Structure 1
Amino acid sequence: MSVKIRIAIIAVFLPMAIAAQTVAPPPQPLHFVNDHWTPYDPPTDIPDDAMVHVIVKGDTLWDLAAHYLGDPFLWPQIWERNPYIRDSHWIYPGDPLIIDLAVQEAEVEEFEIPVDESVTSDYLDDTSGVEEELPYPLGRSADVYCFAELIEDESIFPFAIASAEQIQFQTQFSEGNIVYIDGGVEQGVQAGDRFFILHRLRPLKHPISNSPLGVVYQQVGQLKVLCAQENTSIAEIYYACDPIVIGDVLEPFKPIPVPLVIAPDPTDRCDVPNGKPLGYLTYNRDDQVDIGTNWLVFLDLGAADGIYPGTFATVFRDNPVKGMPRLVMGEVGVLRVEEHYSTAIVTRGWAPLEVADRVEVK
């Protein structure tokens, strides 16, 4: 039995469309690895079930995302899965790119086993209706990069956008715009550094206790430093979820993977309490009153409560009629987790959900 790595080599002969003055210098030094030159240290222990693309001349992450993922704007997802590439503008022919995990069908050797027909069994041997459940991504890249964060200490943000190249003509900025940030070499900033861009929305209080939970910051984009001066830096916005404005704060970039999950048993109206941690829905984007399937929400349960990405929870309300069963409303799946809260996506709902609805870990 053997499992083979699928290697897709796609030739994309398109010119590089990035002007030299907006790109950091190529990484150095080059060294010879597996018959090609590269400044990186490409992995050698690629999983057997990985889909791999070997870079050829003319490839860009933008084009590869369009080809493999169906959307060129998902190119950061490929970059995240290949952390050995330090600069997304510079990829080198011969280096491997892990695109995604692919399910492989193993080769099966067939042979006959003698059967003693005199032996019978009390068990049914009909498994024709059984299908193996395969993991699937709980959400999209935009679900973890374009929602919000709940910040307890606002002093954690080291820098902010202080100006922009087109500040005399624009009040809002997006992908491709050049901005200036109030941190430089003296503060540890260097060319190639990447940051999340966050926009302050409002303080958030618990819907039941009214106690302060923190301040909601909307994730509006990402930028990359082109060059750094003593106390300032010039950067380019390379990913935008919403309009970006002067004063938006920066947070050091770190990849946020979308969890792969296996679907739990479907939430059912007849599900009874299981004794696991209980919490509440505390926030949803744009403060919509009714929350539906695929909406993103905050839960007041986090790592301190044993929550981890891929956890599922039942959404319910107490029955207004005393002595009656609780009202099961739907289900959420957890995308990312912080110490005292988590971000979740509504995976099922047969009635509109609301902030202050309760959740129970499945």
Structure 2
Amino acid sequence: NKYELFAGQNAMLKAMGQPYSELGRVRIVDTRGKMAVGHVEFSCEPIVPGDIAIPFAEKPAITFHMPERFDRFMPSNGKASGRIVLAKDFDLLLGTGSKIYMNVGANQGIKVGDYFRAVRTYEADLRDPVDSLSLTRRSTRRLSKDGCLPGPRNLRST
């Protein structure tokens, strides 16, 4: 896919290395000269001839915990931050359970099981002529005791 979901995505992907998908686990049950015979023990997706096989490496288990309290307005804690660069199957819209790839890792002190907050600024929307119209309408609303008041006269509050 030659199109970027955000400016600089392709350069970040190139710097991160070759993306690949972990399809499943195969156990070798026999070897014959230059050939190995395997049995698919577990798969997340279909495995087809031509897929690459690499030695299996056990990964540490991740312990899940619910945050005690999710504060939507918590300021940054100053620890390492990164960017979501890619998602499994090149997905665009992500949610609970989605697998993502970030441009930070062990070199920045990130460990398996660390948690990040996903946040978004609206700077890119302000630069886009179409999106900025919608964002301006939303951001110019003012609340009063009686409810929502319209913003400037040339904009409608919806």
Report the Cα distance in structure 1 between the residues aligned to 2:102 and 2:69, rounded to whole angstroms.
Answer: 20
Q: Distance in 1 between matches of 2:85 and 2:6?
A: 6
Q: Among 85, 105, 109, which residue is 1:282 paired with?
A: 85
Greater gyration radius? 1
Superimposed CA distance per residue, residues 187-245 of structure 1 (whole angstroms, 9 cap, x where no aligned partner): xxxxxxxxxxxxxxx89x89543321322211112111121122212222222221111
Contact 1:284–1:296, Cα closer than 8 Å, also in 2: yes
Q: What amino acid is aligned across from residue 292 of structure 1 in structure 2?
A: G
> Which residue in the other structure is 1:240 paired with?
43
Alignment partner, residue 269 of structure 1: 72
Aligned partners of 1:250, 1:277: CA distance in 2, in Å? 33
CA distance in 2, matches of 1:222, 1:261: 23
Aligned mates of 1:295, 1:280 — CA distance in 2? 15
What's the TM-score, normalizing by structure 1? Answer: 0.30
Give how far 1:249 is off. Answer: 0.8
Question: Which amino acid letter does the alignment assign opposite residue 314 of structure 1?
Answer: R
What does residue 106 of structure 2 align with?
303
Structure (1/2) with the larger strand percentage: 1
> Partners in 2 of 1:206 and 1:256 — Cα distance?
30
Residue 261 of structure 1: how far off its partner (Å): 4.2
Deviation at 1:287, TM superposition (A): 2.4
2:124 matches 1:315: no
How many aligned residue pairs are there? 119
1:129-180 CA-partner distances (Å, limit 9, x unpaired):
xxxxxxxxxxxxxxxxxxxxxxxxxxxxxxxxxxxxxxxxxxxxxxxxxxxx
2:96 corresponds to: 293
1:108 counterpart residue number? none
Structure 2: gaps of 5 or more residues? 127-158
% identical aligned pairs? 24
Q: Deviations over 1:49-101 (max 9, x none)?
A: xxxxxxxxxxxxxxxxxxxxxxxxxxxxxxxxxxxxxxxxxxxxxxxxxxxxx
Residues 74-93 of structure 1 correspond to what in structure 2 (within 5 A)?
none
* Partner SS for 1:316: coil
Match of 1:259 in 2: 62
Partner-residue secondary structure (3-state), 1:283:
strand
Kindly indicate which of the two structures has a greater share of residues assigned to helix. 2
259-268 vs 240-249, greater mean Cα deviation: 259-268
Alignment partner, residue 181 of structure 1: none
Distance in 2 between residues matched to 1:263 and 1:231, nearest whole Å:
49
Gaps of 5+ in 1: 1-201, 322-362
